[in-house]
A and B are shown apart, each in its own frame.
Chain A
Amino acid sequence: MSQLSTITETLISGDGEALQKLVQEALDAGIPANTILNDALISGMDIVGAKMECGDMFIPEVLMAAQAMSESVEILKPLLADGQSSVVGKVIIGTVKGDLHDIGKNLVKMMLESAGFEIIDLGVDISPEDFVKAIIDNKPDIVGLSALLTTTMPMMKKSIQTIEESGLRKNLKIIVGGAPVNQAFADEIGADGYAPDAGAASKLAKSLLQQ
């Protein structure tokens, strides 16, 4: 199955054009679309995630890989039978009120999408009430809260409180991330999980849904 491992390597290198060509060749050679998706692309993004966690890959390379991934998934999508492309879970993500930073949040979004999650991105400067409204409208499995500033971390706590007070916490996992956030803070504000980077976030989301 060296064709699949070549696809994985090309995905990690972030060469989108070469990747699309290889995916098409694999399809022409008769490899099923869902095998390419699961055994070459999604597993490749797991490696990207792990490399990001230890610092070997950084934002630009991860973005290129995620971009290459989503282009190639477009080729596969029409060929995937019903059920094969079904999403593993639904995630609402947003940067909390008072904070306008979204590079980190966007990276998490792309990594989760690559892992097969359906993502609803609310954007930046999202009030607790807007998170509540989006949860009611979309019924997600997971809500991801992002903050880059020390000063907007308390807004994460407020958001979780508001979600709880609205009676929406049941069957919902809340995960938090952002440069100033750590596990101790996540525990303190009652989040279900914390990830230090986008690679770890993807692993975390998957493990939370398996619980």
Chain B
Amino acid sequence: MRQSCRIQLQPDGVDLDFAYGQTLLLGLADHGIFLRSDCGGTGRCKKCQVAIGRNEGGADMVNACQLRVDRNLTVDIPASSRYPAYIVDKAPLFLPETFRRRMQRSGSPSGHGVGIDLGTTTIGLYLCRLGNAEISASLAVRNPQAFYGDDVMNRISAVAAAGGRTEELQRPVLALIDQAIHRLCTTAGIDTASVSEIVVAGNPTMIHILLGENPEPIGVSPYCPAFTEARQTSTDALGLRSCLCRLRTLPLVSGFIGADTLAAVLAIDIAARPAGTLLVDLGTNGELVLTGQDGMFATSCATGPAFEGATLSCGMQAAAGAIDRVAIDRRDAPPRLRLIGDQADRSDIKPVGLCGSGVVSLLAAMLRTGIIEKSGAFLHSGEILGLTRDESGSHCYQIVPAHRSGTGRPITLTQKDIRAVQLGKAALRAGIDYLLGTAGIKEPSRILIAGAFGSHIDAGDMIALGMLPHIGQDRIENVGNAAGGGTVMALCEPASFQKSMELASSLAIVELAANADFQQRFIDRLKFPAPDSTRPEKSDS
């Protein structure tokens, strides 16, 4: 009988029981130990690597998702393989001034509500006073579904693998929301019983899974959601235990344009802005909304998590140890780095990987110094410090040597990583081009960048990579978390909730996937712009 195996965790020596044949990744999760699983446990991303004890015949490092436990093992989990702490920080928020003024006039505060921006990667929660939209407490927590992979398609596949049942993905999110609401109320010094209203925004897949609706139709052509209307249920019916109240979700528009995009549009009040205003919401995916001469156009582009996570060999989310800015002075000089969490009190922090804004910053620097060509290929002549080959023989650029990195392995950007970024940036830019073409607008009059990832990137770097049209940087505005702002507006102001429904029916959705013209634009946009034409424009000062 080989019913179970024993896993001893090093260095602390804790023993855990595993079912025979279970993967190490899933077995550890059963014991509450989460590893990174950016690719959804398919063995592709190599982010869940652990060290297996040498005397058990293990290779030094193995992918936990591929190792079936068939014997007793000792396992050492490096910090770089652990899934970052659930609670990250205070959630940022963008609220329009007009809304703030309306709320100041609207009179006395009456009860509390929670606005939830349910993202693929991050969940933002805002506890506010319903009468005046004053934020009493806020939290950003990591979406525990990341365990099933870092994009919505991975999550849909996980539901499909469970025979269309959503419970497995729904349960951890509900549990986390409950925990977060408790924490918010404790921070604000109120009783959870005084939460009388919840409004949730999120992409269509997240909203489907939250409500227990099967999102599978979104995953296959014609990529239609199972429903689009704003829904009303109760915390009780959904299985939330922290409070007892009404819970509403904002409407969806299409398979990939959802409540989160509508919330962002609400917050930036795009309807009141001049024609040619382009909203670029860059989260785990890219959503675009453009005001035309008559009406609004929206599309989503499959940038996917192309700039971080599973797609890149040393990619990671913007957590402690992530490189988020890179400067290269000369080709023969080592790059200078800025790290997330690199503050006076954390001077011991070592670089672990590259987050999205770090990759964009690095590539822009490599283009400017000519380390890579317009085509994205490394320049194969001239002295370039750090240009080497990885074990597969592909060229790569070493950013941090092994002895200085937090993983014990060098941090590099490979030629294939650059190709992955090119695919993502071409999807974004071709989407922008195509949307502009559909609306009959030559160039955007203004670009508003929203979203967790988007708001950390330097606009000049985005232009340098050709992610955005080359307009003056004074016409590009970073609005931060607009979706969170719109959620709070819909929570506190019935008129805003109503407006989200009107927006849902007035947005014209532009489909890209099947369009031959879009595909040609996509191929054209794979290249980077010529470096000399992309120098950030001189400011007027």
Contact = CB atoms under 8 A, between A and B. Distances in A.
Contacts of A55: 377, 394-395, 414-416, 418-419
Contact of B153 (A59, A97, A124, A150): A150
Contact of A103 (B42, B160, B514, B522): B522
Contact of A151 (B216, B376, B519): B216
A124 to B, nearest CB: 7
B42 A54 contact: no
A124 B376 CA distance: 28
B375 A58 contact: yes
Contact of A149 (B219, B393, B523): B219
A99 B513 CA distance: 9
Nearest to A182: B44
Interface string B478-519: 000000000000000000000000000000000001100001
A102 interface: yes
A103 B523 contact: yes
Interface string B447-467: 000000000000000000000
A39 interface: no
B92 interface: no
B419 A58 contact: yes
Contacts of B43: 182, 184
Contact of B393 (A54, A57, A151, A154): A54
Nearest to A152: B220
B309 interface: no
B208 interface: no
Given A124-B514, A149-B153, A149-B219, A59 B40 contact: no
Contacts, number: 80
A60 B514 CA distance: 19
Contact of A150 (B40, B377, B416, B513): B40
Interface in A52-83: 54-61, 63
A100 interface: yes
A151 B156 contact: yes
Nearest to B161: A154
A56 B219 CA distance: 32
B220 A151 contact: yes
B321 interface: no
A61 B419 CA distance: 12
A153 B414 contact: no
Given A125-B221, A151-B156, A182-B44, A56 B519 contact: no
A150 B513 CA distance: 15
B445 interface: no
Interface string B411-444: 0001110110010000000000000000000000
Contact of B523 (A60, A151, A155, A182): A60
A152 B418 contact: no
A183 B40 CA distance: 16
B213 to A, nearest CB: 16
Interface in B33-50: 40, 42-44
B456 to A, nearest CB: 26
Interface string B380-404: 0000000000001111000000000
A101 interface: yes
B513 A185 contact: no
A180 B393 CA distance: 22
Contacts of A101: 513
B8 interface: no
A151 B157 contact: yes
Contacts of A153: 157
Interface residues of B, number: 36
Contacts of B524: 60
A150 B519 contact: no
A93 to B, nearest CB: 16
Interface in B347-401: 375-377, 392-395
A172 B253 CA distance: 44
Contact of B219 (A97, A98, A182): A98
A139 B395 CA distance: 41
Contact of A54 (B149, B376, B394): B394
A15 to B, nearest CB: 14
B526 A59 contact: yes
B219 to A, nearest CB: 3
Interface string A115-158: 00000000011000000000000000000000001111111000
Contacts of A100: 221, 513-514
A154 B216 CA distance: 12
Contacts of B522: 103
A151 B419 CA distance: 23
A99 B221 contact: yes
B42 A56 contact: no
B527 interface: yes
B42 A185 contact: yes
B249 interface: no
A150 B39 CA distance: 10
B415 A150 contact: no
Given A149-B153, A151-B219, A185-B42, A103 B527 contact: no
Nearest to B154: A150
A58 B524 CA distance: 12
A179 to B, nearest CB: 8
A63 B523 contact: yes
Contacts of A151: 153, 156-157, 160, 216, 219-220
Given A54-B415, A99-B220, A60 B375 contact: yes
Contacts of B422: 58
B526 A58 contact: yes
A145 to B, nearest CB: 15
Contacts of B526: 58-60
A86 B33 CA distance: 59
Given A99-B221, A101-B513, A182 B42 contact: yes
Nearest to B153: A150
A100 B519 CA distance: 11
Contact of A61 (B40, B153, B375): B375
A150 B157 contact: yes
Nearest to B43: A184
19 contacts: A56-B377, A56-B415, A57-B377, A58-B375, A58-B422, A58-B526, A60-B524, A60-B526, A60-B527, A63-B523, A99-B220, A100-B513, A101-B513, A125-B221, A150-B154, A150-B156, A151-B153, A153-B157, A185-B42
Given A55-B416, A100-B221, 7 more contacts: A54-B392, A59-B526, A60-B527, A98-B220, A101-B513, A152-B220, A153-B157
**A-B complex: 7 closest residue pairs judged by Cβ atoms:** A151-B219, A98-B220, A55-B415, A150-B153, A100-B514, A100-B513, A150-B157
